[in-house]
Amino acid sequence: MIVSLDWLADYVDVPPVEQMTERLLLAGLNHEATETVGSDTAVDLEVTSNRPDCLGHLGVAREVAVLFERPLRIPPIELPKPRKAAAVSVTIEAGDICPYYSARIIRGVTVGPSPDWLVSRLATVGIASVNNIVDITNYVMLECGQPLHAFDLGQLAGGQIIVRRARPGEPFEAINHKRYELTDQMAVIADCDRPVALAGVMGGAETEISLATTDVLVESAQFAPLPVRAAARGLTLSSPSSYRFERGPDPAAVEWASQRATALILELAGGVLEEPVAEAGKLACQPAEIVLRADRVEAVLGVPVPAQRQQEILQSLGFVQQAATAEESRWLAPTWRRDCWRAIDLVEEVARIEGYERVPENVPIAARPIARSSRERLVRMVAEVCVAAGFCEAMTRSVVAEPLEAFGSPWGDAEPLVCRPPLVRGADRLRRTLLPSLLEARVASLAAAASHADLFEIARAYLRRTNDSQPAASPLEEPLLLTLVTTGDFFRAKGLAAVVLARLGLEELAVSAEGIVSGDLTGVSYRPVQSQLLATGRAAEIMLHRPGETPRRLGVVGEVSPQLCKQVGCDEKTAAFELRLDSLEFVADYEPVLTAPSSFPSIDRDINLVVDEAVSWGAIVSAVESTGCHELDQIRLGQIWRDAERLGVGKKSVVVSLRLRSHQETLSAEQANDLVAEMVEACRRHVGATLRA
Amino acid sequence: MTNLSLDAFTADLERLRAEAEQTLADVADEATLEQARIEFLGAKSGRLKLAQKGLGQVAGSDKPAAGRQFNAVKSAVEALFQQAKDRAATGPANVSAETVDVTLPGTPVRFGRLHPLTQTIRRVASIMGHLGFEVVDGPEVEDQWHNFEALAIPAEHPARDPLDNFYISVANSAEPFLLRSQTSTVQIRVMEQRQPPLRIVSLGRVYRPDTADATHYPMFHQVEGLLVEPGTTMAHLKSVLRAFASNFLGGDVHVRFRPSFFPFTEPSVEVDMEWNGRWIEMGGAGMVDPAVLEAVGYDPDEVSGFAFGLGVERIAARRFGVADIRDFYRNDVRFLEQFSDRGQA
């Protein structure tokens, strides 16, 4: 709301501008700017949507009057005795959109330029002068906040007004001379042939006031906020009028504004006023009584305001006291303050006029100890590992484009959720995996010649629930994911996944040749996986094992598929993993229990096994571990080599490094030999291994 | 062979000491060091060795004094030698295969960084944690009850306009969901589940269809605090925010309230904090609207509360001097690597 100080001075003695704007700022009207326009000063104030009363000079003047304790001067209106005439017909067909409509007729006006004072006041607030009639309607709107419209009565077919919903596709040319196609969400003012105005938004070109106009119909009406907004937004046609109707002007100003504009027209453009006023509908305006307990203000603000002062403030703002006792007072809000209808609203009025600077800023706050949630601790643990491993945390958009989503998700096949409008152009799919967007970030970083593009992100994916086991629960779930992308191959990514999991106390469990994880242990296992996101034969799913639970997918790891690399334009070899952190919150509550290290020396032995190519390392480990040997301290991969001539076709040699150590005694060479022999035998039995001399 | 006078012996020793000083001071590298060692400390014919032999020619009565003098000079020369040796090992003039150019780069070990928004969120959460506020979490795809109705935003409210939200239709749900437009949704969820007293901060991603520019992005982060306890007033709100601002900015920071309007708080205020002599906008706040307390089943006559919200991007942009908030989402490693956590997380 731009305020002309010259204009404002009609209604209140204006204090020095800086004092005024500072005080208004602390009472709810933010000061945006002050500018000199000719001999006048324009002050731009930000008005929150609950205060349409301040969208007119009178409303701002009332605030100034209250804050500086000065009288408010509301201009008196004197209308000459009107001439009796046949009434113009006004019909409201859409009462939900237009509760009340009034029309005053003035005949024989002389349309022409406005006087200088009017032109200059409008110029200060940024409105160009059109002609005296149009300028007056704008002036009165900017005075009291009630939008008006003047029609050329001679152009209204049938001399009548109908307020109705627009017909779907109905054409309309506004006074900006643009053509619009309307919908039935919008309301129009029509004559008997066509729409002549878009209700509450803008008048029509065909009935606008021109120099040839002699008879004028002045519209002052109440329009409901929603259809006005639908029209203004639907057609991208906001106006000062729609802006005010969306917020709800003072119902009492409907009649005041009509009379005020009529009086100014008669004064500045001549003509003769006719009666009766054509009207239809009923003004919705009945403020309810508000009860304010005497102790309420202090209970909210934390500082007392004497009852006498509370009453002064409310009365100066236009609230009418109905009754008062020591315990409570009863009030009616003024018609222009429909945002005030509860006791708490009155408290706010008292507070903002009294000033929030009175609220103390140093009251004691009782201490309350809290603990971090499992999820918070988990996120901190994994982020710490990623950062220590040299990775930068990225934040990418939650919504991606369809071509990226088409690569699917490790977390289910249900269709992605789609948002309207798209988050950014082209991106309307809520992601089900972070991997593609993180890859995009990686490509962007590499393109920018960054020193590296090792990135991780911790964020949610958005999934539809597919099983209906919990019908009452939300139909959606949002797993928290940790995803990481790096230069390198499968083993680089697996090593990183393993160190993150190790930080959480989750070690790899060996999977037997039959695919069985022995023991009732908590840990993870890896097995091959097919996914469009990851390269075939170079990817694994990470399974989470917990005692008494069916193993479930905790993550995927592997080299990014060539197709996905191509899609995002990544030409560097990239590996990645993605983990579901929401499956892991339980680990944050682990308390480690010490296993005392053995104080006896260890014996290292390498065994060189020859096995079929298909035998996995995990199966060998599983076979060794199947001996249940307590002295097995460590088992590590020595090396793998292939030589068709020396080993046979389809065979490989696997060197297994064993470390044996007892907690009870120093192992003798003979004891070690016996234990190793047992392990070799287990490998023979489980995976068909032979010992290579 | 006797009859070396004590005076002559002393003079010889002093000459030896002076020359050793001179020579060892000139030692510049391993080679000259070795020469000096042989000359003065050599086991067979080093000059100290020779001087020791001279000790035998001193008259018996002078021997103790001469011995003391000899030992003093020997210690001094040995010390000088050690100094020279140390110097030769580290001296700038001594670059050889065994010594290193200590200005050459060390073997690189890379460390990563947390995203500056994460660092900011952690800092805020940490300060609020000391004030007893616990971090809570909730869904980003919300229903309209939690995003609007329970927050006193009725169906006809402009904030629910389809153009102002990212609506999501979900087949088996009557009304569309949406990407939450504020983290206050989590406060509703917590209040529905728990009874006062309550101190929480909800933080995370929120979504509004703003066109991306230097100060807007359709996805951003909010931190919202909520305290609900009997007898809570705006004085508590101001005091908590002042404690927060003082801790965040350092020093004794004042805050001020300007009246504002939010559907879910009444009274509502904008909060400014005084920074370098200027008032800067910190966020929005207010007393929890009684309608919100009722919506979650609390009795507004029994408890009251306050809520406040901060824009993480705005705080981080100011903290780190980031002029364009879109940079936070470009994920350029050259950008990300600049934000080293100061240990305030």
Specify the CATH architecture of the domain A2-67. 2-Layer Sandwich (3.30)
| Percent of chain B residues past pLDDT 70, beyond the cut | 95
CB A219 within 8 A of CB A232: no
Inter-chain CB proximity B170 and A397 less than 8 Å: no
Max Cα separation, chain A?
128
Max Cα separation, chain B?
124
The Cα–Cα gap between A616 and A627 comes to 18
Amino acid identity, residue B288? V
The Cα–Cα gap between A663 and B44 comes to 57
Q: A537 or B10: whose pLDDT is higher?
A: A537
Inter-chain CB proximity B168 and A418 less than 8 Å: yes
Strand partners, A34: A43
Inter-chain CB proximity B332 and A348 less than 8 Å: no
* Structure tokens, B127: 């300060």
The Cα–Cα gap between A599 and A209 comes to 103
Of residues A64, A59, A62, A54, the one with CA closest to residue A26: A64
Q: Is A2 helix (H, G, I), strand (E, B) or coil?
A: strand
- pLDDT exceeds cutoff 60 at B150: yes
Q: Does A74 touch chain B (CB under 8 A)?
A: no
The H-or-E segment that residue A299 falls in is helix A296-301
Q: Name the band, by pLDDT with cuts 50, 70 and 90, for residue B169.
A: confident
Q: Is A226 helix (H, G, I), strand (E, B) or coil?
A: helix
Specify the CATH architecture of the domain A83-281. 3-Layer(bba) Sandwich (3.50)
* Structure tokens, B220: 């951003």
Inter-chain CB proximity A445 and B161 less than 8 Å: no
Q: A457 or B21: whose pLDDT is higher?
A: A457
* Structure tokens, A623: 């076979």
Inter-chain CB proximity A372 and B135 less than 8 Å: yes
DSSP state of A567: H
A456: closest CA of chain B, how far (Å): 9
Of residues A265, A237, A254, the one with CA closest to residue A141: A254
Residue with tokens 């018996």: B60
Amino acid identity, residue A561? S
Sheet holding A523-528, edge to edge: A392-393, A455-460, A480-487, A574-580, A552-560, A534-545, A523-528
CATH number of B116-336: 3.30.930.10
Enumerate the H helices of A29-124 as residue ranges: 57-67, 116-124
Across A546-631, the runs of DSSP E, i.e. the strands, are 552-560, 574-580, 603-612
Q: How far is CA A271 from the centre of its chain?
A: 54
Q: Residue by residue, what is the 3-state secondary structure of chain B?
A: CCCECHHHHHHHHHHHHHHHHHHHHHCCCHHHHHHHHHHHHCCCCCHHHHHHHHHCCECHHHHHHHHHHHHHHHHHHHHHHHHHHHHHHHCCCCCCCCCCCCCCCCCCCCCCCCCHHHHHHHHHHHHHHHCCCEEECCCCEECHHHHCHHHCCCCCCHHHCHHHCCEECCCCCCCCEEECCCCHHHHHHHHHHCCCCEEEEEEEEEECCCCCECCECCEEEEEEEEEEECCCCHHHHHHHHHHHHHHHHCCCCCEEEEEEEECCEEEEEEEEEEECCEEEEEEEEEEECHHHHHHCCCCCCCCEEEEEEEEHHHHHHHHHCCCCHHHHHCCCHHHHCCCCCCCCC
**Residue from A353, A365, A455, A572 to probe the interface with B (highest B Cβ count within 10 Å):** A365
CATH number of A289-357: 3.30.56.10
Least confident of A273-277, A534-538, A682-686, B85-89: B85-89
**Dihedral sign (CA A226, A231, A233, A238):** negative
| Span A35-86, pLDDT tens digits | 999 999 999 999 999 999 999 999 999 999 999 999 999 999 999 999 999 8
ipTM reported for the complex, 2 dp: 0.90
Strand partners, B288: B265
Closest residue, chain A, to B160 (C-alpha): A226
Report the pLDDT value the prediction gives residue B77, as an integer from 0 to 100: 86
Using CB atoms, pick whichever of B170, B329, B337 lies closest to residue A395.
B329
Residue environment code for A37-57, b if the CB has 16+ CB neighbours within 10 A, otherwise e: beebbbbbbebbebbbbbbbb
Q: Residue by residue, what is the 3-state secondary structure of A392-443?
A: EECCCCCEEEHHHHCCCCCCCCCCCCEEECCCECCEEEECCCCHHHHHHHHH
The Cα–Cα gap between A592 and A614 comes to 37
Q: CB within 8 A of B15, min separation 6: which ones?
A: none
**Chain A residues with CB inside 8 Å of B132's CB?**
365-370
| Span B15-27, pLDDT tens digits | 888 888 888 888 8
Cis peptide bond N-terminal to A421, omega within 30: yes
Fold topology of A374-466+474-589: BirA Bifunctional Protein; domain 2 (3.30.930)
Q: CB within 8 A of A404, min separation 6: which ones?
A: A429, A431, A436, A437, A440, A567, A568
Burial of A279 (0-12, 13-18, 19+ CB in 10 A): buried
Closest residue, chain B, to A225 (C-alpha): B156
The Cα–Cα gap between A590 and A507 comes to 14
The rounded mean pLDDT for chain A is 94
The Cα–Cα gap between A428 and B326 comes to 19
Closest residue, chain A, to B171 (C-alpha): A475
**Chain B residues with CB inside 8 Å of A360's CB?**
235, 238-239
* B-contacting residues in A 243-282 (Cβ below 8 Å): 246
Q: What is the mean pLDDT of residues A403-416?
A: 93
Q: What is the mean pLDDT of residues A612-626?
A: 94
The Cα–Cα gap between B171 and A464 comes to 10
Q: Name the band, by pLDDT with cuts 50, 70 and 90, for residue A173.
A: very high
Inter-chain CB proximity B233 and A460 less than 8 Å: no
Inter-chain CB proximity B166 and A423 less than 8 Å: yes
Using CB atoms, pick whichever of B111, B219, B240 lies closest to residue A397.
B219
Inter-chain CB proximity B336 and A50 less than 8 Å: no
- pLDDT exceeds cutoff 80 at A456: yes
Strands B198-207 and A455-460: unpaired
**Chain A residues with CB inside 8 Å of B269's CB?**
356
* B-contacting residues in A 336-355 (Cβ below 8 Å): 339, 342, 344-345, 347-348, 351-352
The Cα–Cα gap between B274 and A218 comes to 51
Q: What is the mean pLDDT of residues B203-212?
A: 93
| Percent of chain B residues past pLDDT 90, beyond the cut | 54
Amino acid identity, residue A654? V
CB atoms within 10 A of CB A440: 22
The Cα–Cα gap between A163 and A149 comes to 14
Q: What is the mean pLDDT of residues A221-232?
A: 92
Report the pLDDT value the prediction gives residue B239, as an integer from 0 to 100: 97
Q: How far is CA A476 from the centre of its chain?
A: 18
Specify the CATH architecture of the domain A603-691. 2-Layer Sandwich (3.30)
Closest residue, chain B, to A243 (C-alpha): B158
* Structure tokens, B65: 């004094």
B273: closest CA of chain A, how far (Å): 12
Q: Is A685 helix (H, G, I), strand (E, B) or coil?
A: helix
The H-or-E segment that residue A637 falls in is strand A632-641
Q: What is the mean pLDDT of residues B136-160?
A: 91
Least confident of A141-145, A457-461, B246-250: B246-250
Residue with tokens 């006062």: B196
Same fold, A374-466+474-589 and A603-691: no
**Dihedral sign (CA B329, B335, B340, B342):** negative
**Residue from A358, A359, A443 to probe the interface with B (highest B Cβ count within 10 Å):** A359
**Dihedral sign (CA A139, A142, A143, A147):** positive
Q: CB within 8 A of A509, min separation 6: which ones?
A: A517, A518, A519, A521, A523, A524, A525, A545
Give me the residue spans of the domains in chain A: 2-67, 83-281, 289-357, 374-466+474-589, 603-691
Inter-chain CB proximity B259 and A27 less than 8 Å: yes
Residues in chain A: 693
Q: Name the band, by pLDDT with cuts 50, 70 and 90, for residue A238.
A: very high
Of residues B152, B149, B160, B182, the one with CA closest to residue A345: B152
Give me the residue spans of the domains in chain B: 6-90, 116-336
Q: Name the band, by pLDDT with cuts 50, 70 and 90, for residue A514.
A: confident
Using CB atoms, pick whichever of B129, B143, B233 lies closest to residue A299.
B233
Q: Is A55 helix (H, G, I), strand (E, B) or coil?
A: coil
Q: What is the mean pLDDT of residues B245-259?
A: 92
Report the pLDDT value the prediction gives residue B345, as an integer from 0 to 100: 46
Least confident of A331-335, B85-89, B286-290: B85-89
Residues in chain B: 345
Q: CB within 8 A of B282, min separation 6: which ones?
A: B241, B245, B255, B271, B272, B273, B310
Q: Is A628 helix (H, G, I), strand (E, B) or coil?
A: coil
Q: CB within 8 A of A212, min separation 6: which ones?
A: A111
Using CB atoms, pick whichever of A302, A395, A454 lies closest to residue B233.
A302
Inter-chain CB proximity A368 and B257 less than 8 Å: no
Q: What is the mean pLDDT of residues A113-139?
A: 97
Q: What is the mean pLDDT of residues B42-62?
A: 83
